[in-house]
Amino acid sequence: MTTVTAPTPSVVVDHVSKRFAAARKGSGTKDVLEDICLSVGEEEILTVLGQSGCGKTTLLNCIAGLEDFEGMITVHGREVREPGTEVAVVFQSPHLLPWRTVKANARYGLELNRSAPRSEWDERVETALRIVGLSESAGLLPRQLSGGMQQRVNIARALAIRPRVLLMDEPFGALDAITKERMQEELQRVVAQEKLSVVFITHDIAEAVYLGDRVVVMDSDPGSVKLVLDVPEQRPRLLSYKRSAPFQELYTRLWEAL
């Protein structure tokens, strides 16, 4: 077992395991996560790599309070057993409602969450759209947006509830290479501005190194922590960092681990 520690943790995952019922009736259970221990520091981006089926998304759902599990998870001292207002999740697909404008889609999380007074909704949404650079697009419909802009709405919807922890499940995986790099730069800016702690799931080694303060590699059958690498480069990072020798060294070590 590898324990992943952060200096001042905002998220602590303490000996977490998860089992699902086996697909075949009467076949018992399947271990998906086994004895996961990690923490995420204040304003840290922790990127998580692993092959498909290793439990990355399941781990994210456990932190979000969307899955039951064995062990303990705390977010800023609160034990997680159900979704909480201090955590927001950004999935790979924006899942925007096609009949609602950008502003109305960004407000949707507040409507569901209802953790803030209705009188604050407009101000929160306008602030979130300004942070992601969509103030001028507030009245547009999803079909009028590029893929990158739709994902910005997805992030704005999460930011509007003013979380302290952002959980991101391959949010840029469906974007083209140029848009993906722009969104990676944008995320660094948003995290610094809003002082967020982030758990970022990805299959992309370069993305994991470029964004992460630390990179966790997960093993599979069952999912467990295999390797943790620190990324010493300070954020925000320029795209030129991807062409540097330290970047390539980390990339190679992660490739070999996978």
| Preceding peptide of 236 cis, ω within 30° | yes
Instruction: Answer yes or no: is pLDDT of 180 > 70.
Output: yes
User: How many other C-beta atoms can be found within 10 angstroms of the C-beta atom of residue 28?
Assistant: 8
Res 154: pLDDT: 93
- At residue 27 the predicted structure's pLDDT band, cuts being 50, 70 and 90, is low
We find that the CATH architecture of domain 1-83+166-172+185-258 is 3-Layer(aba) Sandwich (3.40)
Q: What whole-number distance in Å separates Cα of residue 202 and Cα of residue 125?
A: 27
Tokens representing 243 are 């062409």
Q: What is the mean pLDDT of residues 151-175?
A: 92
Cβ(207)–Cβ(237) below 8 Å:
no
Res 116: pLDDT: 82
Instruction: Answer yes or no: is pLDDT of 1 > 60.
Output: no
Domain boundaries, the chain: 1-83+166-172+185-258, 87-162
Q: pTM of the entire structure?
A: 0.90
Q: What is the pLDDT of residues 29-84, one digit of tens each?
A: 788 999 999 999 999 999 999 988 889 999 999 999 999 999 999 999 999 988 88
Res 5: pLDDT: 59
Cβ(47)–Cβ(211) below 8 Å:
yes
User: How many other C-beta atoms can be found within 10 angstroms of the C-beta atom of residue 150?
Assistant: 20
Res 134: pLDDT: 93
